[in-house]
């Protein structure tokens, strides 16, 4: 048990340090680490059994994509199980944004159950952020387009974690009402 707590704590610390200078896009410009904490908490709260590797990967899910962290670093520090999960949910930033979004929808049904859970938790956090602090340059249409796209991604993740899926559905309704 101590090893599991240590894994999650080390992942949180690593993620916070790697994302230290990053802010969310919303008008409140909250620290990016708040998003990571919310994803990890959603995962922890929705699991029927503890899964330290999944919670650690929730903390780390954007490190390869957004901080220059490598798969090899994650493997060395957190093990293959965590590194593989992070890699599985990482977008290829060399592709145009529209292509990355299309691929998320296309590939979601083929992800592992744990990767699907991370994807759903990530989309919940993003929807909640849109409600609480939408980006200044996002109009109603852009918010609704994001909600529709997130619903398309999550559609391919359904059947894995009913609790997360229910929270996502509530978050999508709230986001639509907020605009």
- pLDDT tens-place string over residues 90-109: 999 999 999 999 999 999 99
pLDDT digits (tens, 9 = 90+) for 134-172: 999 999 999 999 999 999 999 999 999 999 999 999 999
The CATH number covering residue 57 comes to 1.10.3210.10
Query: What is the span of the domain harbouring residue 141?
Result: 2-178
Q: Mean pLDDT for the chain?
A: 96
Catalytic residue among 3, 21, 66, 73: 66
Q: Is 151 a catalytic residue?
A: no
Above 90 in pLDDT, residue 1?
A: no
Domains: count for the chain: 1
pLDDT at position 2 over 80: no
Residue 62 makes CB contacts below 8 A (sequence gap 6+) with: 15, 19, 32, 35, 36
Q: Are 32 and 59 in contact (CB under 8 A)?
A: no
Let me know if 65 is a catalytic residue: yes
List 65, 73, 84, 91, catalytic entry: 65
């Amino acid at each position: 048990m101590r090893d599991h707590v240590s894994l999650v704590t080390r992942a949180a610390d690593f993620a916070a340090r790697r994302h230290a200078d990053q802010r969310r896009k919303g008008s409140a410009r909250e620290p990016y680490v708040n998003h990571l904490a919310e994803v990890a908490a959603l995962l922890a709260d929705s699991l029927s059994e503890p899964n330290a590797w999944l919670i650690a990967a929730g903390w780390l899910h954007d490190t390869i994509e957004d901080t220059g962290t490598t798969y090899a670093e994650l493997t060395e520090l957190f093990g293959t199980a965590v590194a593989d999960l992070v890699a599985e949910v990482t977008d290829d930033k060399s592709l145009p944004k529209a292509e990355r979004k299309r691929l998320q929808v296309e590939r979601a049904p083929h992800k592992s159950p744990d990767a699907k859970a991370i994807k759903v938790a990530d989309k919940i956090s993003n929807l909640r952020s849109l409600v609480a602090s939408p980006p200044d340059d996002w109009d109603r249409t852009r918010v609704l387009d994001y909600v529709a796209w997130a619903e398309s991604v999550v559609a391919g993740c359904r059947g894995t974690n009913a609790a997360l899926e229910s929270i996502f559905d509530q978050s999508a309704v709230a986001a639509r009402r907020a605009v």
